[in-house]
Amino acid sequence: MAIKRRDFIKAGAVLGAATAIGMPSLWLKNADLARAQGGEIKVGVLFSLTGTTGIIEESLNKATILAIEEINSAGGINGMQIVPVIEDPASDPATFAEKARKLVLSDKCVSVFGSYTSASRKAVLPVFEKRNNLYWYPTLYEGRECSKNVIYTGAVPNQQQDEFIPWLVERFGKKFYLIGSNYIYPQEENNYCKKLLEKLGAEVVNEEYVPLGHSEFSSVINKIQNTQPNVIFSTVVGDSVVALHRQYRAAGLDPEKMPMASLTTSENEVAAMGGDAAAGHFTSAPYFMVHQSPENEKFVAAYQKRWGDDKVTHFVSEPSYFQVYMFKQAVEKLAASDITPPNIRDAVKDVELIAPQGRVRLERENLHTWLWPKIAVAQSNGQFEVLKDSTEWQKPEPYAAYPGQECLEEGLVGA
Rounded to an integer, the average pLDDT of 177-192 is 95
- Confidence band for 388, pLDDT divided at 50, 70 and 90: very high
The CA distance from 27 to 15, in Å, is 10
Q: One-letter amino acid identity for 155?
A: A
pTM of the model: 0.87
Angle between helices 239-250 and 218-227 (to 10 degrees): 50
The CA distance from 264 to 56, in Å, is 10
Q: Is residue 406 over pLDDT 70?
A: yes
Neighbouring C-beta atoms of residue 62, cutoff 10 Å? 21
The CA distance from 237 to 266, in Å, is 10
Average pLDDT of the residues of the chain: 91
> Per mean pLDDT, which range of 26-30, 52-56, 170-174, 206-210 is the poorest?
26-30
pLDDT at 38: 52
Reduced to 3 states (helix: H, G, I; strand: E, B; else coil), residue 186 is: helix
Q: Is residue 28 over pLDDT 70?
A: no
* Residue 310 DSSP one-character state: T
Residue range 354-387, pLDDT digits in tens: 999 999 999 999 999 999 999 999 999 999 999 9
Rounded to an integer, the average pLDDT of 172-177 is 98
Q: Is residue 149 over pLDDT 70?
A: yes
pLDDT at 55: 86
pLDDT at 52: 87
Q: Is residue 65 over pLDDT 50?
A: yes
The CA distance from 10 to 15, in Å, is 9
Q: Strands 352-355, 358-362: parallel, antiparallel or unpaired by DSSP? A: antiparallel
User: Which is nearest to 117 in space by CA: 96, 87, 146?
Assistant: 96
CB 281 within 8 A of CB 263: no
CA dihedral sign of residues 214, 115, 322, 163: positive
> Per mean pLDDT, which range of 19-28, 97-106, 267-276 is the poorest?
19-28
pLDDT at 337: 94
pLDDT at 23: 32
Angle between helices 317-332 and 54-73 (to 10 degrees): 30
> Per mean pLDDT, which range of 1-10, 125-134, 241-250, 316-325 is the poorest?
1-10
pLDDT at 162: 97
Element (H, E) at 244: helix 239-250
Rounded to an integer, the average pLDDT of 242-269 is 96
pLDDT at 27: 38
**Full set of structural domains in the chain with CATH:** 5-155+295-371 (3.40.50.2300), 158-285+375-413 (3.40.50.2300)
% of residues, the chain, pLDDT over 90: 87
Q: Is residue 260 over pLDDT 70?
A: yes
Could you tell me the end-to-end alpha-carbon distance of the chain, in angstroms, rounded to an integer? 39
CB 388 within 8 A of CB 164: no
- Confidence band for 37, pLDDT divided at 50, 70 and 90: very low
Neighbouring C-beta atoms of residue 314, cutoff 10 Å? 24
Element (H, E) at 261: strand 260-262
pLDDT at 16: 38
Element (H, E) at 337: none
Rounded to an integer, the average pLDDT of 4-11 is 36
Helices assigned H by DSSP within 333-369: 341-348
